[in-house]
A and B are shown apart, each in its own frame.
Chain A
Amino acid sequence: MSKLKLEIVTAERVVYSEDVDVVVAPGIEGELGILPQHASLMTMLQPGELMVRQGGEEQSIFVSGGFLEVLADKVTVLADTAERAEEIDVARAEEAKTRAQQRLTMPSTDADHARVQAAMLRSLMRLKVAQRSRKRRREA
């Protein structure tokens, strides 16, 4: 079976670069699964979990948004920030979540509100990715 070449890059480093079987990405218009032979595609991403299957193994990577390009069995993710599940600082994400929750209860302007909500979503997704991968490791 043919493989997808997945590359996740941020402005600061290459986070992931390997041959994989399936990529499930958090597209702006919903989750999308990419298999080899996918049509050329360019989409924006929302903060969430990018799941990768490689052989029988699954791996989670958190992306905070960015762009994803599919081109001839090559998937390139231009992420704003990206962290492999094991790199996620759970304590910091937890903290960010509480902070965002507190700020949401306070009255604020619309722009502020949207920003805090975005921050909240990011920390929630970070935590989710971290938890899921830990669970997966326990089961394995």
Chain B
Amino acid sequence: MVPIRVIRRRIRSIQSTAKITKAMEMIAASKMRQAQNRVLAARPYAEKMRDVVAHLAVQTQLGEELHPLLQRRDAKRIAVIHITADRGLCGGLNANVNRMTADFIAEQSVPVTPVAVGRRGATFMSRYSEGVLAEFTQLGDRPSLLDTLPISRVVIDEYINGSIDQVHLAYTKFITTVNQQPVMQELLPIEPARAERAATVEYIYEPSALEVLEHLLPRYVEMQVYHAVLESIASEQSARMVAMRNATDSANEMIDELTLVLNKARQELITKELLDIAGGIIQG
């Protein structure tokens, strides 16, 4: 039989683990709320931008040559912006994105160069594929648009100078607190949405439609990358919250079971002692 002292020690150790996971759960919950608010706050800008890009793309298609970011070329080399978290302890979140990107790379007939965002994905990619184009880690829990600009800069530059012909964006989409979905979407070339109101409005452009478009398109890409990073953070925090809640629950369950074992052992000990005493009295 396990000595009582050992059981007590185990209970205490599990209790302190439960305290830590509980605290982590609460931290993740508050960070998740913040991250969700950021996703929501970024939405009006993103929607407006999508409208304008859709409208402009239609306008400037007539006659003039397409802007490089809108041109579709034969893909000879593809880049994937692979967004994961810096830290683990968030369930299958990082593993899911890693797997999705790995599958994607395996399916392509042309070489794929990853751009890793987040330490978890960066380590995975450096093992999985040779030649990571760039690595961005330590973005923190609340990056500003400015922090994510270098990511979009790298792919835009490489795309324009022709060394990559397609860019995809792999990240975890936040759906609900308990549901996050790894998604892969095409970032470049830009495929403008079909806007309903596009054809109906005639704008005055200053300085000109083409020039506005030229400035707007890189912004649009930056915006999408920023958005994907925000979504990933919201997902990370909610996945961590759920993982930590499960950990706390199973820790408490273990404590309950161990307490039962402890009580039983204690009872047995007392019974044994009583029997010894009783036996002594009878004999005496």
Binding site for B on A (CB under 8 A): 7, 9-14, 27-29, 39-44, 67, 69, 71, 76, 78
Per DSSP, chain A at the interface is: strand
Q: Nearest chain B CB to A34's CB is how many angstroms away?
A: 12
A39 CB contacts on chain B under 8 angstroms = 204
Bound-state CA distance A110–B203 (Å) is 35
Residues A28 and B48 in contact, CB atoms below 8 Å apart: no
- Given A7-B44, A11-B226, A76-B48, A42–B205 Cβ distance below 8 Å? yes
Q: Which residue of A lies closest to B213 (CB)?
A: A42
- Given A67-B216, A69-B52, A12–B42 Cβ distance below 8 Å? yes
Q: Nearest chain A CB to B221's CB is how many angstroms away?
A: 12
Binding site for A on B (CB under 8 A): 38, 41-42, 44-46, 48-49, 52, 56, 144-145, 201-207, 209, 211-212, 215-216, 219, 222-223, 226
The 4 closest A-B pairs by CB, nearest first: A43-B206, A11-B145, A9-B45, A42-B203
Residues A12 and B204 in contact, CB atoms below 8 Å apart: no
Residues B206 and A40 in contact, CB atoms below 8 Å apart: no
B56 CB contacts on chain A under 8 angstroms = 42
Q: Nearest chain A CB to B218's CB is how many angstroms away?
A: 12
Q: Nearest chain B CB to A9's CB is how many angstroms away?
A: 4
A69 CB contacts on chain B under 8 angstroms = 48, 52, 203
Q: Which residue of B lies closest to A14 (CB)?
A: B44
Residues B211 and A42 in contact, CB atoms below 8 Å apart: no
Which of A12, A14, A29 is close to B144, meaning CB atoms less than 8 Å apart? A12
Bound-state CA distance A23–B56 (Å) is 24
A40-B201, A42-B52, A44-B207 known, 16 other contacts, Cβ within 8 Å: A11-B42, A14-B41, A40-B202, A40-B203, A42-B204, A42-B205, A43-B207, A43-B212, A44-B212, A44-B215, A67-B212, A67-B215, A71-B201, A78-B48, A78-B49, A78-B52
Q: Nearest chain A CB to B265's CB is how many angstroms away?
A: 59
Bound-state CA distance A27–B145 (Å) is 23
- Given A27-B206, A41-B206, A12–B41 Cβ distance below 8 Å? yes
Residues B48 and A9 in contact, CB atoms below 8 Å apart: yes
Residues A28 and B207 in contact, CB atoms below 8 Å apart: yes
A-B contact pairs, 23 of them (CB 8 A): A9-B44, A9-B45, A11-B145, A11-B226, A12-B145, A13-B42, A14-B41, A14-B44, A27-B206, A29-B206, A29-B207, A39-B204, A40-B201, A40-B203, A41-B204, A41-B205, A42-B52, A42-B205, A43-B205, A44-B207, A44-B212, A67-B52, A69-B52
- Given A42-B52, A44-B212, A67-B216, A11–B45 Cβ distance below 8 Å? yes
Bound-state CA distance A12–B145 (Å) is 7
Q: Nearest chain A CB to B173's CB is how many angstroms away?
A: 18
Q: Nearest chain B CB to A48's CB is how many angstroms away?
A: 15
